[in-house]
A and B are shown apart, each in its own frame.
Chain A
Amino acid sequence: MSLPNDDNMSAHSQLSSHFFEDLLDSIIVDVASECHRVARLGLDRNFEEEEEELRLSAQARARVADSSNNGETNSKYVVDIFGQTHPAVANEIFECMNCGRSIVAGRFAPHLEKCMGKGRKARLKVTRSATAAQNRYTRGSPGSSYSSYSNSTGMNRLSNGASSGVAGEEYSNGSFEEL
Chain B
Amino acid sequence: MSAKRSSINRPPTPDVDRDRENQEPTLQEIINIKMIESGEKERLKELLRERLIECGWRDEMKSLCRAYTRKKGRNNVTVDDLVHVITPKGRASVPDPVKAELLQRIRSFLASTAT
Which A residues form the contact surface with B (CB < 8 A)? 1, 8, 12-13, 15-21, 23-36, 39-40, 42, 44, 47, 50-51
Contact with A along B84-113 (1 / 0, CB 8 A): 011100110010000110110011001100
Q: B78 → chain A, closest Cβ, in Å? A: 7
Q: A28-B90, A32-B65 are in contact. List 14 more A-B contacts (CB 8 A).
A: A12-B107, A12-B114, A15-B27, A16-B106, A24-B91, A27-B48, A31-B61, A31-B86, A35-B62, A35-B65, A35-B69, A39-B66, A39-B74, A42-B74
Report if B79 contacts A (CB, 8 A): yes
Q: B66 near A50 (CB under 8 angstroms)?
A: yes
Q: Which residue of A lies closest to B49 (CB)?
A: A27
Please judge, given known A-B contacts A33-B79, A47-B74, A50-B66, whether A28 and B61 are in contact too, CB under 8 Å. yes
Question: Can you report 17 A-B residue pairs in the complex whose CB atoms are below 8 A from each other?
Answer: A12-B111, A15-B106, A15-B110, A17-B103, A24-B48, A24-B91, A24-B94, A27-B45, A28-B61, A28-B83, A31-B90, A34-B62, A39-B65, A39-B66, A39-B74, A39-B75, A47-B69
Q: A20 near B87 (CB under 8 angstroms)?
A: no
